Each structure stands twice: as structure tokens, then as C-alpha cells.
């Protein structure tokens, strides 16, 4: 029987109860604190959830109320969400790096009554918004450090709320169990806000049944079981964490492991050696950049060995993906490479024991994808959307292809609609947008399919391929198809390029704005005794411009025909979510960027050599300032007669 159809297991808190009964002494969650991993059994997790839920009840929390969590991944923040859901409430997870204005929008729109914040920094952000949030009644802090001098009627520690819960249990025995039993699969478990790529974020209503069915579908195609380890480090406000950490843990009994901090994730990953690992493309690109830089800095012999076995691994991977036989000499060389290069690299990344690695949230460039696959990392692309709990399709172990996102998971259907848009139907599809009925109607077809907004196709093997956002796919003036993400991913394969935004729709050629990778370019500059003081100073160096142009020339070799990048500009700052240029999940807000950097685009297509920019920038504390600068526009190669660089 499906868990969501059984009244005893049709909500996430009921599944926690099942684990506490059947696997009481097994590890349900771990958390690293001050360098030591603390383990909580399933029974301990259940006890903590019960006590906190009763503490919330003592504060007046009731069915239908909303609770937000704000901070890095911590055990108590997961328990807080389950506690609210056990009482019939709704979880509203937030991005920990959100600035005050973003928090004010979500907390106000969702009418959140209680917030559980990790530490002093997050508490300060919420306290600054109290006057704007009439529904807010309680702010709970998890970390006591720095909070001793705070006095506010809304403030309470996590431990104190649990103490109040224990007292409430004495006064009203059986209250928790009665509330738990009232819950059912159709109840809303969470409101997860979209990244807001095309505008204001929308609150996606996900039921317990949605989340349980999605976690079951994931387990059906990716074998997982109790005792497997999962690293919980991705933003709690992202649907991926809600589904693959909380949902999968409750359904399959895997152990959630919270690292000490975002800065220690790589070290904690190596210590843990998880059974599975999920990371967005930015993480994989960063890993790749780090590896390539280390290889470039190694001794001559080590560098030659790395490059030899890297080339051999890539040749082998291409043979396998094309279905061609691998020669005996290549097989033997790969076995040697496993000893000297591939195994040590996986160990350095913390992935030696990982059965499957997933990448999702945005497309990962084919070059980066093949690199990791060739090194023996079972990297697979997963595709989904917030509106379908983050899972529509997943690649097979032996059928991974950088150009597809695999077959649809059991119970989910896909069709291709008008203009190539991907439509989805299945048990994970959301219940609607909170307080936005018109947007809900627009997101669905008349016959009940979710419109994802992504352009795609189903290949002859039955695998789904995502081309780009449907609204972003266009063509050059000569009719050549233009998909900006494809070109951007090619550019970001360079270790010196952190971010790229490509332009070309209804234009005579492709141009791109590039943000350098401060770490790798800074190291490159230091090795050449090239002084610099800031990101802007470094990006403005003529030597750095030549470096990026050389990288673009190499990348252009891999780009077909008219899609080669002909002009480029180096940004004077990184694209920043605080400035609304990218989302919290690092997706480019194209319309906003095109408007903000309009002088650069004009220079691209009118033959200009520079562009003058004046823009507002936002600091982490929400303060704003104005930045004025001039960006140089560079040609990738000397213009020829009749060159497409001339405006159409």
C-alpha cells in the first residue's frame, strides 16, 4: 500500500512516529557542532518534535497556522517544521541569506505567526520587521550564543518552548496524539516559495500526499533505505531540501546529516562519505574549478599524469555514451587511472563511497557533466519544479546523458505542448499558489496539466530533454536557434568564469557578459605579480580581459556556427541575489538583467567599445548605495569585412 493512502502513514509526522516505533535506536539525524557529530535516534527525534509541538500549542499555535524556519540546516529547524505539521500547521521555510525586504514579503504574504530562527543574526533580521508583520506572535531562537542580552516579548529559546511543551503534556495528556491523528494526506504540509525568476515569488502549496508520493517515486528509481546517509546542506527554503532531505528521510528512513556551517561543507562531506549527494550546477562547477586549479598548480609530473588520465577518461566516457566498444588498452589505462587519479579525486571530494550523485535546479554543462562521469562519479541529472515537489524525471545509472534529464518517475506523465513547453501530470503536482487563484489557473492547462515554463522534447529513447526556459528560447536574425543557457554553460566550464549571461535573440550575433571567478583569477594574477585591490579592479585589468578572451576563443571552437560568442564584457561586480540579478538558487533574472545592463547590450550591437553604467547595489544588511563605472567591450576576434558585429 502507498504510504499516503494509509491513514497511519499519510502525513510526514506520522511517518516519523512509525520510524520512532520500528527503528527507535537507529540514527534519524546527525548534526555537527563544535567539530563533533551529534547523533539523534529516531526516538529522540520524535520526542523532540512532540515536546516542541506541545510548546507551540501552549503558545496558541493551531491547525492552519504557519511556522517559518530561518537559518542553516539544523536538526531543530527540521523538528520545528514537523512539529507545526503534527498540529495541522503549515511549514514555510525561508532562505537563510534573504535580505530583510525578501523576508518581509514572504512572512507577510504567508501570514506566518511563528518563526524559528537559527541564531542572533537571523533573529535580528526578523526583529527589524516586527512592525510590518501583524500576524507574527513568536520568535524562537535555536542558538543561545549572543542572545543573553535580548529582551523582547516575542522572543523565546527553543529549549524553553520545549519545557513549556512538557508542562502542557501534563495538563493535557493525549493532546499531541489526538492532533497527529487528525492530520491527513490532503492537508497542506508546506508553502514553498518559488525562486522568482520572472517576477515576485509565489507560494506553492504542497500537501503531505504530494511530498510522500514524490519521495516514494524517487525511492522507486533510486534505491535507498534506512541507514543511508544524506548530507543536508542546501537552502531549507528550496523545494529540493524539503523533498530530498525531509520528505525522503520520513518516507525511506535515511539519516539526515547537518554540517557545522556552509564553510565546512566540503570537509564535512569528506568525513561523512554520504550514500547519495545532491548539488546544484554551481556546486559541481566550483568543484571542477577547484580540481583544475589544483592540477594546474601541481608539479610538472603530476600535471602531466592528471591530464593524461583525464583525456583517457573522457575518451572512454564518450565511447560508452555512444554505445561503442572500449578497446582493451583503454580499459587497462582506466584501471591504472583509478589508482593514480580517479579514486584519489573522488576521495578528495568526499564521494568515494557515494552510490549516486544528483544535479538539479538548473542545467549542468555537458563538459562538466562528462568530466565527473568519466572520473567514476555516478552523476545523474534530475529535473523538477517547485510546483511538482522538485521531481519529474531522473536519469538511470547506465543511461546518463548530458543532453537529457532521464525518464519520468513512476506515476508522473509528461507531454510537450505549444511552443515546445513541457507539461506535467502526477501525484506530486501542487495544490495551487497561496492566495493567487489567477496565477494558479494560468499555471494549469484546461485539462489539468501543469505548465512548467520549460521548453523541451522527448527523444527517441523516451528521455526528456530540457532546452531552456520557453520564454528564453529564440533565434538569431539569420534564423539560427538561440538557447542562452547552452552558451552560458559552455562559458562557465572555464575555471576563470563564474557567471555568464548570453544575448542573441533577434540579434545578428551572440554576445555575453561575464563575471570572473574571483578566487581562480585572483590566484592567476598573484602568480604573475599583478596587483589588485578589489573585484572591480581585477576585472578591469587588461591582462584579465586577455585571459577571458583566450578562454572564450577556446570555447567558441565547441560552439556551432552562428552561436559563437563574438563580443564580451567583463562585469565589475558579481551577479548578486541581493541586487535581484539572480535568484537565491542562482538562476539569472534575464528581463531584469537586460534592463539593468541595457547600455552594455547597446554597446554590443552598435559597435561600442565601452558602456557607462550607474546602478544601485544592496549590502547584506539591506542598505543601498550607487555604483558608477565604465565597462569595456571586447571583440573575441578582429572584425572582418561584413562581420556580424555590425548592427542589423
Q: What is the distance, to the nearest Å, from the Cα of residue 476 to the centroid of all Cα atoms in its chain? A: 30
Model confidence pLDDT, tens digit, residues 597-610: 999 999 999 999 99
Give residue-wise pLDDT tens across range 444-457.
999 999 999 999 99
Query: Any idea where the domains of the chain sit in the sequence?
Result: 3-263, 281-352+354-469, 474-635
Its pTM stands at 0.88
At the topology level, CATH places domain 281-352+354-469 in Rossmann fold (3.40.50)
Structure confidence by residue, pLDDT tens digits, 48-93: 999 999 999 999 999 999 999 999 999 999 999 999 999 999 999 9
Share of the chain above pLDDT 90, in %: 74
Q: Going by C-beta distance under 8 Å and a sequence separation of 6 or more, which residues neighbour residue 20?
A: 28, 42, 43, 45, 46, 47
Using the predicted structure, report yes or no on whether residue 642 has a pLDDT greater than 50.
no
Q: Which of 610, 590, 586 is nearest to 599 (CA)?
A: 610
pLDDT at 421 over 60: yes
Structure confidence by residue, pLDDT tens digits, 259-275: 999 889 999 999 999 99
- HSE-CB at 296 with a 13 A cutoff on CA atoms is 13
Query: How many whole angstroms separate alpha carbon 161 and alpha carbon 67?
Result: 14
Domains 3-263 and 474-635 share a fold: no
Instruction: Give residue-wise pLDDT tens across range 341-358.
Output: 999 999 999 998 899 999
For 638-642, what is the mean pLDDT?
A: 47
Q: Kindly state the percentage of the chain with pLDDT values over 70.
A: 97
At the topology level, CATH places domain 3-263 in Rossmann fold (3.40.50)
Q: Is the pLDDT of residue 498 over 60?
A: yes
Burial of 36 (0-12, 13-18, 19+ CB in 10 A): exposed
- The 3-state secondary structure of 284-295, one letter per residue: HHHHHHHHHHHH
CATH of domain 474-635: 3.30.300.30
pLDDT at 648 over 50: no
Cβ burial, residue 199 (10 Å; 0-12/13-18/19+): exposed
Amino acid at each position: 500500500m502507498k504510504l499516503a493512502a494509509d491513514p497511519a502513514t499519510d502525513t510526514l509526522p506520522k511517518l516519523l512516529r512509525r520510524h520512532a516505533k520500528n527503528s527507535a535506536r537507529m540514527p534519524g539525524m546527525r548534526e555537527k557542532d563544535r567539530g563533533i557529530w551529534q547523533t539523534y535516534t529516531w526516538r529522540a527525534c520524535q520526542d523532540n518534535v512532540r515536546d516542541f509541538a506541545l510548546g507551540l500549542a501552549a503558545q496558541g499555535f493551531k491547525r492552519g497556522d504557519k511556522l517559518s524556519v530561518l537559518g542553516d540546516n539544523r536538526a531543530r529547524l527540521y523538528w520545528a517544521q514537523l512539529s507545526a505539521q503534527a498540529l495541522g500547521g503549515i511549514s514555510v521555510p525561508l532562505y537563510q541569506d534573504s535580505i530583510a525586504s525578501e523576508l518581509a514579503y514572504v512572512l507577510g504574504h504567508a501570514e506566518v505567526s511563528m518563526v524559528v530562527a537559527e541564531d542572533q543574526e537571523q533573529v535580528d533580521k526578523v526583529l527589524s520587521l516586527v512592525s510590518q508583520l501583524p500576524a507574527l506572535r513568536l520568535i524562537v531562537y535555536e542558538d543561545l550564543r549572543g542572545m543573553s542580552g535580548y529582551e523582547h516579548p516575542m522572543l523565546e529559546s527553543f529549549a524553553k518552548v520545549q519545557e513549556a511543551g512538557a508542562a502542557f503534556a501534563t495538563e493535557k495528556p493525549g493532546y499531541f496524539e489526538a492532533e497527529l491523528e487528525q492530520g491527513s494526506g490532503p492537508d497542506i504540509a508546506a508553502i514553498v516559495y518559488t525562486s522568482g525568476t520572472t517576477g515576485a515569488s509565489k507560494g506553492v502549496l504542497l500537501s503531505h500526499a504530494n511530498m510522500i508520493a514524490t519521495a516514494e517515486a524517487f525511492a522507486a528509481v533510486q534505491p535507498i533505505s534506512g541507514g543511508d546517509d544524506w548530507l543536508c546542506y542546501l537552502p531549507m527554503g528550496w523545494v529540493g531540501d524539503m523533498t530530498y532531505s525531509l520528505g525522503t528521510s520520513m518516507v525511506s528512513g535515511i539519516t539526515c546529516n547537518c554540517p557545522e556551517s556552509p564553510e565546512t561543507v566540503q570537509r564535512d562531506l569528506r568525513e561523512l562519505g554520504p550514500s547519495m549527494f545532491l548539488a546544484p550546477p554551481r556546486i559541481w562547477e566550483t568543484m571542477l574549478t577547484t580540481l583544475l586549479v589544483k592540477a594546474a598548480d601541481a608539479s610538472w609530473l603530476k600535471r602531466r599524469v592528471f591530464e593524461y588520465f583525464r583525456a583517457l577518461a573522457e575518451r572512454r566516457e564518450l565511447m560508452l555514451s555512444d554505445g561503442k566498444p572500449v578497446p582493451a588498452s583503454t580499459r587497462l589505462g582506466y584501471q591504472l587511472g583509478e589508482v593514480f587519479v580517479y579514486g584519489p579525486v573522488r576521495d578528495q571530494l568526499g564521494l568515494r563511497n557515494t552510490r549516486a550523485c544528483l544535479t538539479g535546479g538548473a542545467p549542468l554543462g555537458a563538459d562538466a557533466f562528462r568530466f565527473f562521469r568519466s572520473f567514476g562519479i555516478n552523476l545523474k541529472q534530475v529535473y523538477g519544479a517547485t510546483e511538482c515537489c522538485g521531481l519529474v524525471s531522473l536519469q538511470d545509472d547506465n543511461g546518463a546523458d548530458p543532453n537529457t534529464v532521464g525518464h519520468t518517475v513512476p506515476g508522473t506523465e509528461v507531454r510537450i505542448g505549444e511552443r515546445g513547453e513541457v507539461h506535467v501530470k502526477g501525484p506530486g503536482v501542487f495544490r495551487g499558489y497561496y492566495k493567487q487563484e489567477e496565477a494558479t489557473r494560468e499555471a494549469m492547462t484546461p485539462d489539468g496539466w501543469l505548465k512548467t515554463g520549460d521548453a523541451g522534447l522527448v527523444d527517441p529513447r523516451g528521455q526528456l530533454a530540457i532546452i531552456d526556459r520557453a520564454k528564453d528560447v529564440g533565434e538569431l536574425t539569420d534564423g539560427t536557434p538561440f538557447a542562452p543557457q547552452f552558451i552560458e554553460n559552455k562559458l562557465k566550464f572555464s575555471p576563470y568564469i563564474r557567471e555568464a549571461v548570453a544575448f542573441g535573440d533577434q540579434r545578428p550575433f551572440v554576445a555575453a557578459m561575464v563575471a570572473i571567478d574571483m578566487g581562480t583569477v585572483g590566484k592567476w594574477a598573484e602568480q604573475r605579480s599583478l596587483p589588485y585591490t578589489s573585484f572591480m579592479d581585477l576585472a578591469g585589468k587588461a591582462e584579465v580581459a586577455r585571459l577571458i578572451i583566450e578562454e572564450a576563443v577556446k570555447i567558441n571552437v565547441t560552439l556551432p556556427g552562428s552561436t559563437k560568442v563574438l563580443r564580451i564584457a567583463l562585469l565589475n561586480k558579481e551577479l548578486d541575489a541581493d541586487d535581484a540579478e539572480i535568484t537565491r538558487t542562482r538562476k539569472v533574472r534575464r528581463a531584469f538583467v537586460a534592463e539593468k545592463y541595457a547600455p552594455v547590450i547597446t554597446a554590443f550591437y552598435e559597435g561600442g567599445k565601452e558602456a557607462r553604467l550607474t546602478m544601485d547595489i544592496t549590502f547584506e544588511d539591506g542598505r543601498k548605495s550607487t555604483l558608477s563605472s565604465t565597462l569595456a567591450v571586447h571583440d573575441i576576434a578582429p572584425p572582418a569585412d561584413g562581420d556580424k558585429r555590425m548592427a542589423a
